[in-house]
Structure formats: structure tokens, C-alpha cells
Amino acid sequence: MELGFLGLGQMGSAIAERLEQAGATLHVFDPNARAAEPFVTRGAVVHGSARAVADAAEIVFACLPESAVSEAVAREVAAGGTVRTYVEMSTIGSPSMARIAATVGARGIALVDCPVSGGPKGARAGTLSVMAAGAPDALATVRPWLARIGRTVFEVGERPGQAQLMKLVNNLINAANLATAFEALVLGAKGGLDAAQMVEVINASTGRNSATTDKIPKAVLTGSFDYGARLATMYKDVALGLAEAEALGVPMWVMQQVGSLWRFGMSEGRADEDFTALIRVVEGWAGVKVRGAGAE
């Protein structure tokens, strides 16, 4: 099977590798030519545009950084002569996904709204959580490929945009867990508690969540700050989630405050740092660090 893949950044390249390992011949495009080089050595076909990929493959996947890019790429894909199913894996919000659906649908191309959760490491391991929405026939077409990408595939509806909302619900909780865990751990450190032991106690108690069981032990206690996603990406998702809430008339008292902390991290010039680096903002205010033994 020949598949198209657009966007070979941290997430996109990891997902594309899984499709490649499943036996697909990939037709790829990324504006950064170097991102495609590892795929070329393994037999992928590199193209000079998204339109060229859509001329070569019936199923085209995309994993892109923001809504404006996704919508521009969708217009190119819609002009392709071979593509019949377009799988948009970016997190861009339901209004943007609706515009993409109209763009490709006008050319008879089926759209699957398909964001994922789990980061690049999860993508390479095939353990992502995949959220998909689209027409039944379109979902049936891509279901075998989604099973290669994720450990769990949730089909959440027939209307593109529904999977976007599901992803944003998840990421709002993720962002809140991180923000509150960072503040609480800094409080404990300021009061003289050992950072590693605090995390151990929390994970044996009712405060545990994915921030304390996974992200903080791997990227904060170690001082590596390399979990695998940019702070700007998390802030984008929080902003998208708050916009969805505004459109649906749902008050978000807690998340507004969480969003303010992530926005402050952006204003401090940390947009391109790992999202776990947000704790450094709180540490700076308190004058302490939350690190394990031997970490800086």
C-alpha cells in the first residue's frame, strides 16, 4: 500500500515510521528537506509539495503545527488527483477542522479527524491513544493503519471536529495537572521536603496523575526537561480548548487561571523549551528547585 505523509516533525516522523514498519511505501513532504532524509534511505519517495503527495497516494496523512498551516496544506491536498481519504492528525480545533472538511469534501475527498495523544515516544512504540471522527466508510478505510499507530483507537463520532474536541478535553486536563503539580511541588520544596520523596508519596496517594507518574519523574526530577513537546504546543492546545468552551458557552473558571500560567511561560521566552520547563517559572518565583539527587 502506498500512503502519503505530510509533516515530518517530532510527532509526524514518529507516526510515519510506524506506518512504514507496517509495510507501507510512503510518499512524503516536509518543507524541511532534511526531515525526509531518514525516510529516503528506507525507500520512501520524497515530493516537492503536498499537492504532489496527493497526486501519488490514495490515503494521505498530515501532522502539522497549527491551524493556518493545516488549512493551507488541505487546499493543496484538495487539488490532488489520486487522494481519496485525508487523515488530519494535527490538533487545530473544531472550527479549523470544519473548514478543512469543506475544502476537501468539495473535491469528493473523505476526511478523518484524527488527533493523537502520547507524544513522540508513544508514537514510536505504537502506544498512542488515537481519537478519530469521520464517515463510517472513511473510518473503515483507515482503521488498519490507525491500529498500527495506537494501542487504543477511539471512534468518537461521524462529524470531523468531534475528535478535535475530545483531544482538547484531554489536553486541558493534562495542562491543569502539570500546572497544579508544579505549584504544589515547589511549595513542598520551599518547605524543605525532598523532591523525589514527594513524588513517591503523591504516586502512592490520591494526588497521583500523569504529571506525577510520568512527566515529572522523567523530565523534571532528572533536570533533563526533554519529555518531547514544546511549551508553545501546550499553550496552543489550552488556548484552543478555551476557545471551544467560549463557543459552547461553558464557563472555565479553573482553566482560565491555568491558561494564564502557561501564557506567562510563553511571555518569559520559553515557547521553544520543553513543556515541563514551565516549572522553572514557579521555581524562580519561590527561589527553589524540584530535582532528584544528582540533578542540576
Each residue of 56-86: pLDDT tens digit? Answer: 999 999 999 999 999 999 999 999 999 999 9
Does 167 participate in catalysis according to the annotation? yes
- Residue 295 — very low, low, confident or very high, per pLDDT cuts 50/70/90? confident
pLDDT at 294: 85
Catalytic residue chosen out of the listed positions 121, 167, 218, 289: 167
**pLDDT score recorded for residue 53:** 98
Average pLDDT value for the chain = 97
Q: Specify the 3-state DSSP secondary structure of 29.
A: strand
Q: Give Cα 59 to chain centroid, integer Å.
A: 21
CB 72 within 8 A of CB 95: no
What's the rounded Cα separation, in Å, for the pair 155 and 146? Answer: 11
SS3 287: coil
Please give the average per-residue pLDDT across 89-109, as a whole number.
Answer: 98
Give yes or no for residue 231 having a pLDDT over 80: yes
Residue 187 above 90 pLDDT? yes
CB contact set of 264 (below 8 Å; sequence gap of 6+):
281
pLDDT at 93 over 80: yes
Q: What is the mean pLDDT of residues 33-56?
A: 96
Of residues 114, 94, 232, 132, the one with CA closest to residue 175? 232
Measured CA to CA, the distance from residue 287 to residue 284 in angstroms comes to 5
Domains and CATH numbers, the chain: 2-159 (3.40.50.720), 165-286 (1.10.1040.10)
pLDDT tens digits for range 115-161: 999 988 899 999 999 999 999 999 999 999 999 999 999 999 999 99
Residues 6+ apart with CB under 8 A from 105: 111
Strand pairing class (59-62; 116-117): unpaired
> Hey, how many other C-beta atoms are within 10 angstroms of the C-beta on 65?
18
Strand-pair category, 128-133 with 116-117:
antiparallel
- For residues 218-222, give the mean pLDDT: 97
Cell of 89: 492528525
Closest CA to 241 of 260, 261, 256: 256
Task: Indicate the pLDDT class of residue 164, thresholds 50, 70 and 90.
Answer: very high
pLDDT grade for 114, boundaries at 50, 70 and 90 = very high
